Amino acid sequence: MSNTSSDAIRISPKYASTDWQEISASESRDWGKAVKIVRDRLVGRYLRFADENLKNQYSGFVVLALDCLLAETIEQFRAGATTGKNKSEKYITMFLSSPRFQPYFDKEARKHFYEDIRCGLLHQAEAKEMWLVRRGSGTMLKKAGDGRSYIIEVKQFHNAVHKTLEDYFKQLVDPTEDKLRNNLWKKMNHICRIRTARGLLYKAENVSDS
């Protein structure tokens, strides 16, 4: 649990940039806390709300929108990217190439998902083309009709996102994952620098404001 005061500028519900700055990538004992901080950021601010919304019968679009946000974020963490400008398609298709989404998302399906679900939901609040968002349809994704029509099972898709994030956390505690760890540190250092800069401009926030 963080010892950060309740009025700190935060990077997650429980942690502030000062908590991250107190640990070191070169200290093996600090990696447990590093993963806790990243978990608190990604689960505490995003994934848990998708989990809760999924209980509602009509939440499919909201859950998929949050899942798309998480998919891009996870890939940026993996790559150590400090900006996602003009790279959203790359990150989404990379994410859907992972084992948790196979064999359902081939190259064609990944491209259409980016264009019709990711961009459709985040830019227009709709699933584009002939996509259907369903529950209980049997498989995570199946093609229908003209070849660009798909039925996506939102519970299975969200579960795969959840498991992919857990896979990432497990990799981070593996000391042989040097590149993945270095990229995480690069990403988190960037986040903390931005937070520190904001702290000089804005007054500190209470936990309830996070």
pLDDT mean over 185-209: 68
Residue 60 identity (one-letter amino acid): G
Kindly report the three-state secondary structure assignment for every residue of the chain. Answer: CCCCCCCCCECCCCCEHHHHHCCCCCCHHHHHHHHHHHHHHHHHHHHHHHHHHCCCCCCHHHHHHHHHHHHHHHHHHHHCCCCCCCCHHHHHHHHHCCHHHCCCCCHHHHHHHHHHHHHHHHHHCCCCCCCEEECCCCCCEEEECCCCEEEEEHHHHHHHHHHHHHHHHHHHCCCCCHHHHHHHHHHHHHHHHHHHHHHHHCCCCCHHHC
**71 vs 92: CA distance, rounded Å:** 6
Res 95 pLDDT > 60: yes
The pTM is what? 0.88
Res 5 pLDDT > 70: no
Mean pLDDT over all residues of the chain?
89
Looking at per-residue pLDDT, the higher value among 148 and 79 belongs to: 79
Kindly report the three-state secondary structure assignment for every residue of 9-56. Answer: CECCCCCEHHHHHCCCCCCHHHHHHHHHHHHHHHHHHHHHHHHHHCCC
Short-list 87, 88, 104, CA closest to 140: 104
Please measure the distance between the N-terminal and C-terminal CA atoms of the chain and give it in whole angstroms. 16
What are the boundaries of each domain within the chain?
17-209
Short-list 7, 21, 35, CA closest to 170: 35
Our CA dihedral for 88, 12, 171, 182, rounded to 10 degrees, sits at: 70
Confidence class for position 59, pLDDT limits 50, 70, 90: very high
Q: What is the pLDDT of residues 96-146, one digit of tens each?
A: 999 999 999 999 999 999 999 999 999 999 999 889 999 987 899 999 877
